[in-house]
Amino acid sequence: MTVTAEAAMAMTIGQIATQHYLPEKRRRKRAHTVDGYESSIRRHVLPRWGGMAIRDITRDAVQDWVDELAPSAGPGGAEKAYKCLRQVIRWAIDKWGLYVADPTRGVEMPRKPAYRPETLTQRRLKRLIRGLVGCECEATAIIQAALGTRPGECYAVRWESVNWRTGAVPIRSTLVQGSEGAREWPTKTAKGERDCCLPPWALDRLHQLWVAKGRPRGLVIGALTPRQAAYRIQAWIRRNRLPRITMKNLRHTWGSIAAQAGVPMETVAAMMGHSSIQTTYRYYFALTQASAKRAQRKVARRVMGKTCDDMYAGIDLASAQALPMAA
């Protein structure tokens, strides 16, 4: 069915979003991604803008809506709702060539607190890995802890793709569960397609598990869905009182430990499949007291000298008196 620009101008946001925007996005994007769009649209966007046409929405009204939404939905929820409204409006403008001002331009977002993922220390990570022995999904947890992949990439790893001689594990897809069930998709970004390498301890333990299971082929999680695998890992952690951590934060733990160990940020970014090194710096670079002291020592040696005596050589500090301040 062809929609003219005149007909589109008369459509409400609700009609555009539910009858055109979301169905088209479902044909092109991952189901769980569109599920997130739809949840925010139905919860926040449609109650406020569902009965209005684009030409009836003003920039000031959108700004007031975002400001009112922030206390209840949080800064992140308000920003996501705003972005969903913006996507719907701009998609309609581009698709049907609407000559109408975009009311979402120039809207200021509430400030979000810095995102600090919960991670484990080296000791707690080791305790977790040792405590997972006997868990049905131990192999999946080992891959996630040892490679720092995205959870969906970990769920998509197959036994036959592991090189038992070199430890290489190619990451080529992600297994995601949404409203349409579990389905494999390409990696999140082009740089997400990469070849990871298991450390010796993980490779040896995975080989032991593979042999014990009868050398199977197919997904490491077997017939389980991603949600089932994640649930069983969490249930095992609670039952055995192991350090609490999610699959996503196991990825953050790997990145944090790698950065603390001195692995170059470029290498960390490549191994984690980040499309931009700025993402790696934002999450995993931290100015520690030790690194700050090292930096100050290097600057002092070049500019001022190593010690206080070097800086003030030739000046009698003991007899020096403060000069009177100018009136």
pLDDT in tens, 300-317: 777 766 677 777 777 777
Task: For tokens 């007031």, name the residue.
Answer: 64
Rounded CA-CA distance 194/267 in Å is 12
pTM score? 0.77
Model pLDDT for residues 29-73, shown as the tens digit of each residue: 888 889 999 999 999 999 999 999 999 999 999 999 999 999 999
Q: Where are the domains of the chain?
A: 5-96, 135-284, 289-316
Question: Mean of the per-residue pLDDT values for the chain?
Answer: 91
Could you tell me the pLDDT band of residue 288, with boundaries at 50, 70 and 90?
A: low
Model pLDDT for residues 155-194, shown as the tens digit of each residue: 999 999 999 999 999 999 999 988 878 889 999 888 899 9
Distances, alpha carbon 186 to alpha carbons 52, 56, 323, in Å: 37, 39, 71
Mean pLDDT of 107-120: 88
User: If you classify domain 5-96 with CATH, what class do you get?
Assistant: mainly alpha
Do 5-96 and 135-284 have matching folds?
A: no
In total, the chain counts a number of residues equal to 327
- What are 182's strand-pairing partners? 177
CATH number of the 135-284 domain: 1.10.443.10
Q: How far apart are the first and last CA of the chain?
A: 83
47 CB-contact burial (10 Å; exposed 0-12 / middle 13-18 / buried 19+): exposed
Give the orientation angle of helix 247-260 with respect to helix 122-131, to 10 degrees: 140
Q: 41, 261, 61: which is closest to 148 by C-alpha? A: 261
Task: For tokens 């040896």, name the residue.
Answer: 204
Q: Is 12 helix (H, G, I), strand (E, B) or coil?
A: strand
Q: 276, 255, 251, 273: which is closest to 264 by C-alpha? A: 255
- Taking a C-beta distance cutoff of 8 angstroms, is the pair 294, 192 a contact? no
Strands (E), 129-273: 168-171, 173-178, 181-186, 194-197
In 90-117, which positions are buried (b, 16+ CB within 10 angstroms) versus exposed (e)? ebbbeebebebeebbeebeebeeeeeee
